[in-house]
Structure 1
Amino acid sequence: MMLALVSSSAIAQLPTISEKTESLTKTEGFFDYYYDEAQDQLWLEVDKLDSEFIYVNSLTAGIGSNDIGLDRGQLGDTRIVYFERRGPKVLMVQPNYEYRAETDNELEKKSVREAFAKSILAGFEVAAEEDGKVLIDLTPFLLQDAHGVTTSLQRQDQGSYSLDKNRSALYSEGTMNFPKNTEFEATLTFAGSSPGGYVRSVVPTPEAITVRQHHSFVELPDDGYEKREYDPRAGYFGITYQDYGTPIDEPLVKRFISRHRLEKKNPETEISEPVEPIVYYLDNGTPEPVRSALLDGARWWNEAFEAIGYKDAFIVKVLPEDAHPLDVRYNVIQWIHRSTRGWSYGSSVRDPRTGEIIKGHVSLGSLRVRQDFLIAEGLLAPYADESTQNTTMQEMALARIRQLSAHEIGHTIGIAHNFAASITGDASVMDYPHPQPKIVNGEIDLSNPYDTGIGEWDKLAVAYGYQDFPEGTDEDAALNEMLEEGYGSGLKYISDQDARPQGGAHPYAHLWEFGDDPVAQLPTIMDIRKTALENFGEANLKTGRPLAELEDVLVPIYLFHRYQVEATVKLIGGLDYTYKVKGDNQAYPEIVDKKTQQAALDEMLKTITPEALAVPEDLLELIPPRPAGLGYSRELFNGNTGPTLDALGIAETAAELPVSLILNPARANRLVEYSAREGNLSLETVLNELVAASWGKKAPNGYYGSIQRMVNHVVLRNMILLAAAEDANPVTKAITHKALRDLQSRLSQRDDADSKFAVYTIGNFLTNPETFDVPQAPATPPGSPIGSDAIYFCKF
């Protein structure tokens, strides 16, 4: 009783909000706030105690390093929170929406709330109160490391940093108020020691990293949004949670897709304008001609909405000059600069309760367009005659950026990757497109490097997510019929985890492959690569540039086949499957037939011949070491010959790619299983053919002979790695050990240096497998964008 009296007395002595803020400027909006410029202090008026709203933290200004991963415009976590008063304190509480009871029984809801922890994100002292409202000092909350900058730096071993509040301040230019959202911004400086290389490469004084952090308080959407159930065949991201109010005979886990809210003004008509269109805004700092290309690609999506009866439902504009890109009222396509080329990605602010997308936010890496330009330079050798301007490279780069714009927007309207689209006529921009050169009259033609427009899969996906139905329609049945028709027409959908080459099993879902038949297209790609390498020379570089820069152009051309190799290998030990549901018209899983697997292996082995691996000798004689000041980077070949190009190291790098993929442990395990079940291609056959293509061939004299000897050791290294792999099953290990012993016995009959070294190496491994140190292959220059794998995954 005494405690209650003391608390009441203390609270009664608080000033009113009017008294506390008498000399301060009030900014009205979703949450009214007062700014004290003299103290750099922001006071928040909380008039909505116990009322939930959305809180998002983001970065307005980032660090600029792909590897660190803290980009300009990067969205942080989206949370539902509410302010709760406890005596002299106000707490910011995050309820736990991962576990719910969707029922009218309040006690049942309470039992779930009390079973799972909530999170209190912040605590504030009540500084004033008036008419049921309280005033709190929000400044410490805004000046904290909410985005996890120090954690990101630590994770990448970039030094020990902490927030320096003396060098941090509120940022009034990014602080604003609107009826349904309040936006705050702060400049934060992180001081540290022993900065890592990534920090040193982008920060002027590496011991002081200054960024800007944004905070958004957003009104929850009204309850007019209707959730749509997730279907694994539809290709959508979404939300998932456990509903403990579910009857025992129904699934506990609930899944719903994420999408923007879209409704027809006139639902009774076949074609109608929307009540509110989906409007995206392009970063007004994007230069031409990239700006126009991005606008073009983004607008492709309107075709999909037109196909389901909407007029002008998807609109793309340039962001107004006075708009803030992190203001949640704007769906934004942001042009992001980094020190090295990196992933682009599409993310969103979603209502965690329903999956409704409130803000789509695309981050497009600006250097990606330059990489396509570089590839075009390598393919075309365009500078033999510099008296006329060649626009083909720019046209190719802009064609790719149109695709990228549409692709990343697709993520922000809810749609996942579809890496099986290329085998059905490039049916989706949600695949990764490979450039599509052709050889015409012996010359490389880049007149149509990329497809244009969205595809049939994209239209189906938009229809699944956004089609409205007349009242009384069985929505589940209508959606299922829609998918059945799409798959019945030949469309396919396979997403991220099934498209990876390392151990991946799906034969037709790949990243950046070319054409609808990986096996047939690999020799086509190899022919294009061969033609480009034969034409490669000074004509690939503008006059006045250092000849050493030819290596920059050479790398993506020499490795031009890398993605087709990654696609072709997945037919070896491959399994064709879909995301089938019971009762639909999709096929059951089927092992790739032996003939196709063998054809894939045959084409893969052609990529490790000396003829395929040799850098033309005239190029080796043309490209000098890099001059002082030009520097080296991971975009270049690695080697062991000092400053000069390492021709054998380059060949080893290219040989390592197919051999390591063929002998991936998961793939080898499947070969063992499938050959036993179906009489398919066996691991023994694969190992025998690899040995025959390497140690079984007589190495010629000279340059090609040295490359052949290098290939031999690549095969041996990967056989040892497979035999030692923890995830290789015992049968796989036994087969590989036998192959090594057989090879050792065979090579022991030879007297050449390579055979003797191989016998010695195998013996050491078989005698001491636990301590044997397998030689490392040279690091391959990156093909995919550098940095974190920012491919957009669904939280399911």
Structure 2
Amino acid sequence: MRPASAVAPLLLAAAMVAAFPRGASAAEASPGPATARQVADVTRGLQSQPGFIDVWRDTTKGRVLLSVGVLEQPFLLVSSLPYALGSNDVGLDRAQSGEMRMVHFEKHGGKLFLVQENTAYVANSADRDERAAVRESFSNSVLWSGDILASDNQRHVVDFSSFLLADRHGIAARLAGAKQGSYAVDLSRSAVLAGEAKAFPDNVELESLLTFAGPGQGDFVRQVGADPASLSMRQRISMVRLPKLENAGGWQPRVYHPYSGGFDTSYFDFATPLASSIDVHWQVRHKLEKTDPAAAVSTVRKPIVYYVDRGAPEPVRSALIEGASWWASAFEKAGFKDAYRVELLPEGVDAQDIRYNVITWVHRATRGWSYGNALTDPRTGQILRGAVTLGSQRVRQDILIAEALLAPYGSNAPADRAKLAEQMALARLRQLAAHEVGHTLGFAHNFAASRMGNGSVMDYPHPILKLNAQGEVDLSNAYGVGVGPWDDYIVNYIYGDFGHGAQEAAALAQLRAGARAAGLLYSSDQDARAPGASHPDGVLWDFGPDTLKTWDQLGAVRQRALQTFSTDVLPDARQIGELEARLVPVYLLQRYQGEAVARLIGGGEFDYTSAGDVKAGIAKAGVRVTPAAVQRQAISRLTDALRAEYLALPPNVLDVLTPPAVGYERNREYFLTRMDSVADALSITEAGAAQTLGFLLDAGRLNRLAWQHARDAQQPGVPELLSQLLDKTWRRAAIPASVTGGEAVQLSANWVVLDSVLGLLGTGKLHPQVAAEVRQSAVELAQWLQKNPGKGTTAASRQQAASHIVAYLKDPQSVKLRSGWPVPPGAPI
């Protein structure tokens, strides 16, 4: 994933940053006013840590003193969590990095002030007054102030402890945002860890123990806290020297392009020429310089090195090193020899030291997302540190999915089948390591790369599943190996050495043209995550060049896996209630490909590009609508997934599902049940129907569908979609007797359909004419139900459904619609 803490845009300063003086004067004077006392008097007996900013450790009193020698010169400040909460839902992970800020010290009277600069608005001008005009137009923020304890030769000593004892990482806000209650730092149970303070030539590392007092009633803190009313974590504060800005012949920032495949850092520059945009964007990337700039392939002055957490066990550790190392080949192709490598973190090294790029193996109470943060100097986009967080439970989820598909624990199962599950999970872990490191190298998601098979590790990969010649589930090649063609392109585009100015711009344009010609598609987060997103290629977790063929392929795998589902999916030592948790990924196997099918409905392709590339014929402007025939096939596939034949569980599954054993309980990985502890086939049906309808009946999708039909009558419209949906659910003929519980299953799905359709009218997101078409479809359904009352259980539901529709259309406030049918989590896989 893209880093959870986006780096704020910072000032592109013209001046070089001066070093902070080191050391303390040996001279002493008698005590006087704080600003007149000498440094030696205040720091006597304390442990000295000379560096970027001199630090004195006062372990006796639990204080950290700083000596500030240069005022009003910016540096970078960032927080992190060496010890954290362990809850994926709250999102406070071990080694998590916070927001990077640019700050400086100011002196006013007898105090020093730490000021955060407002760096979203700048003037990169040689004119001091022009720069000042922008600086004075926007507010800075004072983060802290402290009394000056001593001054000597323009150096000022302050006790920085109160800064370290404040919540600088936003822990309390994160807890409140997760609805865990109001927490605040309890100073009586918090401490500055003076013995952990370190100073180096370019960075200072300071740490504190913070205890947060709160109500302790939230589910997530109760799950992970030793005492949920008293949460103790460690906060690291890193103070980092800004990199020197290069002269014209050195390493330069690279202008961001939407088709680069990378991240950008940006700010508003009011000093740009009047005809130019003030919105300036730089490409985010590590500083990488050839030792021989004239050579096509050269070694580099300083390689990019990533270190793997020593806490990762084998075989995980080796998989992480192997997968993260895949990027080396792309750097080699881009002309950088031995420029990138991955190693095990040396023993004793502080993994939170901001000088190291680290891949951290993080434990949480539940499975959750992994992510990579690129901490940058946003004046130029230069990456200062890569910080990767990999959740340890994801690999176990992959094993669970594989075991549920293979049923490897039966007496007749081949001896190596269980090993296949672990092999698949490690293959996924290699890809995950490469993916998250990619973010810290400056690379964005590309969810369209799955159209090219193993097109990019920056896509989210669904395991490639198929049936072999014997009709058995085959996952031997579930995940790709190595980086793909898109990855080679983005490394070359973002890091390649092409000179400067017009020469560089021409080379990059040629790269973009070549990538387009090779069919390298690109679609990222903003066009992929919304349920109603329109780009048919920008889909998370899909695979294959043909969405509909992959849907059918996965459907065959799902059917086979349900037919063979048994107690053989569980190792002998596991409690029998876990069968239902393993049913979830099998029953919902097509959930991600279903989203891909929905993208074809009201879908349209478009390019990330610039006006210049469009004019040059490199890319196209506008939206290219999905062909009508393809849209109709997609509608047919998804509406079929709401029929009892698809949603009903076979007897071999129903007959083995068992409530959790004593000492265990249901959790979020199970389906909801309204039958106490017993598995609820009707709630399972509702979850399956809700999964499909959430994408099919998105308001934005219906609005696009209506507009496409208005422009071209050959395209399907909203009435056609709703007619097919209702024909296959409420208006369908009797369900075959061969479908177990078929009538009850279909009625459960029907009610989800009805409330979903009516719920569209209350969203306020439909255009009025589209809402009119939805309303008319509901009216026609009510009339049909009244004319076709049916028999038995079906008759009762039809009668109530007709009344339900009439009452809702007359007075929506008088009818409570059901919504938000719980679907067990799928991602991340």
Fold match by TM threshold 0.5: yes
Q: Deviations over 1:440-473 (max 9, x none)?
A: 1111111111011111111111111101124786
Counterpart secondary structure, 2:494: helix
Aligned to 1:388: 415
Q: Which one of 780, 789, 809 corresponds to residue 766 of structure 1?
A: 809
What's the Cα RMSD here?
1.6
What whole-Å deviation, never above 9, does each CA across 1:179-207 have from its counterpart, x for those lacking one? 11110011111112243110010011111
Name the SS of the counterpart of 2:589 in structure 1: coil
1:166-185 → structure 2 map (5 Å cutoff): 166-172=188-194, 174-185=196-207
How far, CA to CA, are the matches of 2:528 and 2:569 in structure 1? 33
Post-superposition offset of 1:543: 1.5
Deviation at 1:387? 8.8
Question: Which residue in 1 is equivalent to 2:635?
Answer: 601
From 591, 613, 617, the counterpart of 2:647 = 613
**Could you list the per-position Cα deviations for residues 264-321 of structure 1 after superposition, in whole angstroms to 9, with x for gaps in the alignment?**
0011112111110001011111100010101111000011110111111111111112
Please list the CA deviations of residues 351-404 of structure 1 after superposition, one character each: whole Å capped at 9, or x if unmatched. Answer: 132111000000001111011000000110000137935310110000000110
Say which of 685, 702, 709 aligns to 1:675: 709
Question: Hey, what does 1:556 align to over in structure 2?
Answer: 585
Which of 436, 443, 453 is the equivalent residue of 2:464? 436
Query: 1-side partners of 2:810 and 2:717: how far apart?
Result: 27
Distance in 2 (CA, whole Å) between partners of 1:631 and 1:12 is 62
C-alpha contact 2:193 2:209 (8 A) present in aligned 1: yes
Per the alignment, residue 764 of structure 2 pairs with 726
Asked whether the equivalents of residues 78 and 98 of structure 2 are also in contact (C-alpha less than 8 Å), the reply is yes
Kept in 2, the 8 Å contact 1:80–1:352? The answer is no
Q: Which deviations, in whole Å up to 9, do the C-alpha atoms of 1:213-243 show, x marking residues without a partner?
A: 0001111101124111111111111211111
Shift of 1:20: 1.1
CA shift for structure 1 position 75: 0.5
Give 1:145's aligned residue.
167
CA distance in structure 1 between the partners assigned to 2:383 and 2:694 by the alignment: 41
Q: How far apart are the structure 2 equivalents of 1:574 and 1:651?
A: 28
The answer on whether the counterparts of 2:266 and 2:378 sit within 8 Å (CA) in structure 1 is no
**What is the aligned partner in structure 2 of residue 688 from structure 1?**
723
| Residue in structure 2 matched with residue 545 of structure 1 by the alignment | 574
Secondary structure in 2 matching 1:705? helix
Give the conservation status (yes or no) of the 8 Å contact 2:451–2:543: no
Match of 2:26 in 1: none
Q: Deviations over 1:691-731 (max 9, x none)?
A: 11112212335611211222222221111011222111101
Opposite residue 670 of structure 2, the aligned amino acid is L
Matches within 5 A, 1:500-519: 500=529, 502-519=531-548
1: distance between equivalents of 2:585 and 2:51?
52
Write the distance in 2 (CA, Å) between the matches of 1:574 and 1:49: 56
The alignment status of 1:295 with 2:321, answered yes or no, reads yes
The answer (yes or no) to whether the contact 1:97–1:353 under 8 Å persists in 2 is: no
Q: How many residues align?
A: 778
Q: 2:733 aligns with which of 687, 694, 698?
A: 698
Alpha-carbon separation, structure 1, partners of 2:461 and 2:694: 24
- Give, in angstroms, the shift of residue 46 of structure 1: 1.0
Question: Deviations along 1:640-689, whole A, 9 cap, x unmatched?
Answer: 12211111110121012212321111001111111001221110100000
Matched residue type, 1:653: A
| Contact 1:750/1:756, CA 8 A, preserved across alignment | no
2:779 maps to 741
Which position in structure 1 is the counterpart of 2:84? 62
Matches within 5 A, 1:277-676: 277-385=303-411, 388-389=415-416, 390-440=418-468, 441-470=470-499, 474-500=503-529, 502-582=531-611, 583=615, 584-588=617-621, 589-676=623-710
The two structures have a TM-score, normalised by structure 2, of: 0.92
The yes-or-no answer on 1:231 pairing with 2:257 is yes
SS in structure 1 at match of 2:183: strand
Residue 775 of structure 1 is aligned with which of 806, 818, 826? 818
Give the secondary-structure state (helix, strand or coil) at the position aligned to 2:634.
Answer: helix
CA contact (8 A) 1:362 1:408 kept: yes
Q: 1:570-600: per-residue Cα shift (whole Å, max 9, x none)?
A: 1001011111322242234211110010011
**AA matched with 1:287:** P
Q: CA deviation at 1:244?
A: 0.7
Percent of paired sites with the same residue: 40
Stretch moving more, 294-303 or 691-700: 691-700
- Structure 1 CA distance for aligned equivalents of residues 226 and 595 of structure 2: 40
Scaled by the length of structure 1, what TM-score is found? 0.96
Change over 3 Å in CA distance of 1:779–1:94 after alignment to 2: same
Tell me which amino acid in the other structure corresponds to 1:597.
Q
* Residue in structure 1 matched with residue 27 of structure 2 by the alignment: none
2:575 maps to a residue whose letter is P
Given that 2:35 and 2:150 are in contact with CA atoms closer than 8 Å, whether structure 1 keeps it comes out as no
Question: d(CA) in 1 for partners of 2:387 and 2:573?
Answer: 41
- Counterpart secondary structure, 2:102: strand
Give the Å deviation of 1:618: 2.2
Q: Which amino acid aligns with 1:758?
A: A
Structure 1 counterpart of 2:798, from 751, 755, 766: 755
Distance in 1 between residues matched to 2:422 and 2:153, nearest whole Å: 63
Residue of structure 1 in register with 2:93 after alignment = 71
Unaligned runs of 5+ residues in structure 1 are 1-8, 787-796
Q: Post-superposition shift, 1:124?
A: 1.2
For residues 41 and 172 of structure 1, do their structure 2 counterparts lie closer, same or farther at Cα, with a shift above 3 Å needed? closer
1:186-205 maps to which residues of 2 (within 5 A)? Answer: 186-205=208-227
Tell me how far apart the structure 2 counterparts of residues 196 and 620 of structure 1 sit (CA, whole Å): 35
Greater Cα shift, 107-116 or 217-226? 217-226
Query: Which residue of the partner structure matches residue 791 of structure 1?
Result: none
Match in the other structure for 2:19 = none
Partner of 1:793: none
1:253-264 equivalences in 2 (<5 Å): 253-264=279-290
Counterpart Cα distance in 1 of 2:501 and 2:213: 62
Distance 2:327 2:788 in 1: 64
In structure 2, what is the Cα distance between the partners aligned to 1:329 and 1:756? Answer: 69
Check 1:243–1:11 CA distance in 2 against 1; reply closer, same or farther (3 A cut).
farther
Amino acid at match of 1:42: V
